[in-house]
Amino acid sequence: MAKINFGGTVEEVIMREEFPLSKAQEVLKEETVAVIGYGVQGPGQALNMKENGVNVIVGQRQNSASWDKAVADGFVPGETLFPIEEAVQKGTIICYLLSDAAQIAVWPQIKPYLTAGKALYFSHGFGVTYKDRTNIIPPADIDVILVAPKGSGTSLRRLFLEGRGLNSSYAIHQDATGRAKDRTIALGIAVGSGYLFETTFEKEVYSDLTGERGSLMGAIQGLFEAQYSVLREKGHTPSEAFNETVEELTQSLMPLVAENGMDWMYANCSTTAQRGALDWKDKFRDAVRPVVEDLYESVATGEEAQRSIDTNSQPDYRIKLEAELEELRSSEMWQAGAAVRQLRPENK
Ligand SMILES: NC(=O)C1=CN([C@@H]2O[C@H](COP(=O)(O)OP(=O)(O)OC[C@H]3O[C@@H](n4cnc5c(N)ncnc54)[C@H](O)[C@@H]3O)[C@@H](O)[C@H]2O)C=CC1
Ligand SMILES: CC(=O)[C@](C)(O)C(=O)O
Ligand SMILES: [Mg+2]
Ligand SMILES: [Mg+2]
């Protein structure tokens, strides 16, 4: 493990150099890795592992769009693609990549096939951490492990195809075989992680739920809406409001942040912008911090988990989510966004 200084705190991370793909292949050579669920993470992880030489099968509900997608991606019914229970039966490592709500519903069906020595793998600490709400309590004689790619399954796959990698966290909840750690790291490398950092199931789910509700998804849209609507009320056109709120951020400034940090992005903007950003950042921080504190509390008490379970267990949850996404899509801001995207020279 490499010791890396993260801004003054030294942490151990695992990189491909010290745990190369050849070692991952060696660790996994006797295993059948059953990827259960072929939604967003399922395809990314299954295809990356398959192309990395791992023996992968997929378990998915028949007569579903995801089943058809698995077929289109090259998984063969009866050979490498099976109904869920059959795949769990055949697998020695079970990657449980159903939606978190579906994991609860399907658990009683798969539990009998989690026999001694197998490994149960998650990409989220949700099911195990909130066990009082999910009833996901794995048998004691199996490994229970986690690799959580820090990003969308779509990005995991795209970065893999570009020869890059998405960072993942990893955790071992239960080591029944003495091989849990090797299995975990090998899977982490095989799914296409750039490097792996250690966590626990609880820390993973608390930080992940906070991040996606906060700066990664929820807060960012909230900030965009606030600024866009003020600009519009003050008489700015949609194109100006959208460009000054979103397009410039994603196209021009965030790539600079990604490349070399916030100070580098600031340094490449005008001194006028730098002065204003440095003055205003603390006001935004102070306004938003109490909301983040509320959010973390709601995650830690399990309120967020319960809301997610309750809503996403409804038979029509997809339709309802889609209706809310449609509302976003049809908002003036994102309609302006669609027009702006069309105008990018590369999209012409
Ligand atoms: N979406 C992402 O990129 C990320 C997801 N994760 C985690 O990975 C896991 C999988 O998430 P996603 O890929 O987003 O899942 P998803 O929402 O795409 O669902 C995966 C599959 O579950 C199946 N499914 C849904 N309800 C079912 C039911 N009642 N019975 C049987 N199958 C059912 C669907 O057919 C679908 O193929 C979750 O634990 C999630 O938190 C972690 C990091 C990112
Ligand atoms: C993509 C990711 O890692 C998220 C936002 O946490 C998720 O999809 O749950
Ligand atoms: Mg998440
Ligand atoms: Mg996440």
* DSSP string of 171-220, one letter each residue: EEEE-SSS-HHHHHHHHHHHTTEEEEEE--HHHHHHHHHHHHHTTTTHHH
Radius of gyration of the chain from its Cα atoms, rounded to whole angstroms = 22
Ligand nearest to the CA of 212: 2
* Catalytic position from the list 50, 118, 124, 157: 124
DSSP letters, 221-259, are: HHHHHHHHHHHHHTT--HHHHHIIIIIHIIIIIHHHHHH
Q: Please tell me the distance from the alpha carbon of residue 37 to that of residue 17, in angstroms, as a whole number.
A: 30
| 32 alpha carbon – ligand 2 mean position (Å) | 26
**Type of residue numbered 150:** K
- With the most atoms of ligand 1 within 8 angstroms of its CB, the residue from 48, 99, 126, 158 to mutate is 99
The pLDDT value given to residue 180:
98
The closest of 170, 109, 173, 116 to 139, measured between CA atoms, is 116
The closest of 200, 34, 5, 215 to 120, measured between CA atoms, is 34
The pLDDT value given to residue 298:
98
Indicate whether residue 151 lines ligand 2 (CB < 6 A). Answer: yes
- Its ipTM equals 0.98
Q: What is the pLDDT along the chain (348 residues), one digit of tens a residue?
A: 899 999 999 999 999 999 999 999 999 999 999 999 999 999 999 999 999 999 999 999 999 999 999 999 999 999 999 999 999 999 999 999 999 999 999 999 999 999 999 999 999 999 999 999 999 999 999 999 999 999 999 999 999 999 999 999 999 999 999 999 999 999 999 999 999 999 999 999 999 999 999 999 999 999 999 999 999 999 999 999 999 999 999 999 999 999 999 999 999 999 999 999 999 999 999 999 999 999 999 999 999 999 999 999 999 999 999 999 999 999 999 999 999 999 999 998
- With the most atoms of ligand 2 within 8 angstroms of its CB, the residue from 216, 217, 221, 304 to mutate is 216
Q: For ligand 1, atom 44, name the residue with the nearest CA.
A: 152
DSSP letters, 57-99, are: EEE--SSSHHHHHHHHTT--BTTTEE-HHHHHHH-SEEEE-S-
**Cβ-contact 88, 107 below 8 angstroms:** no
User: CA-CA distances (angstroms) from residue 142 to 96, 97, 113, 117, 128?
Assistant: 14, 18, 11, 5, 14
Indicate whether residue 39 lines ligand 2 (CB < 6 A). Answer: no
User: CA-CA distances (angstroms) from residue 42 to 12, 149, 271, 306, 344?
Assistant: 28, 12, 46, 24, 32
Indicate whether residue 330 lines ligand 2 (CB < 6 A). Answer: no
Counting from 1 in the atom list of ligand 2, the atom nearest the Cα of 149 is 3
Counting from 1 in the atom list of ligand 1, the atom nearest the Cα of 155 is 3
The pLDDT value given to residue 219:
98
**Type of residue numbered 172:** I
Q: Please tell me the distance from the alpha carbon of residue 31 to that of residue 15, in angstroms, as a whole number.
A: 22
Phi/psi of residue 33, nearest 5 degrees? -95, 115
User: CA dihedral defined by 93, 190, 194, 341, rounded to 10 degrees?
Assistant: -90
Mean residue pLDDT across the chain: 98
236 is catalytic: no
Residues with CB under 6 A from ligand 1: 37-42, 60-61, 64, 66, 97-100, 102, 105-106, 123-124, 126, 148-149, 152-153
| 317 alpha carbon – ligand 1 mean position (Å) | 13
Burial class (CB in 10 A: 0-12, 13-18, 19+), 347: exposed
| Token duo for residue 270 | 């005008």
Q: Which 8-state DSSP code applies to residue 17?
A: T
| 101 alpha carbon – ligand 3 mean position (Å) | 13
HSE at residue 87, side-chain half, CA atoms within 13 A, is 30
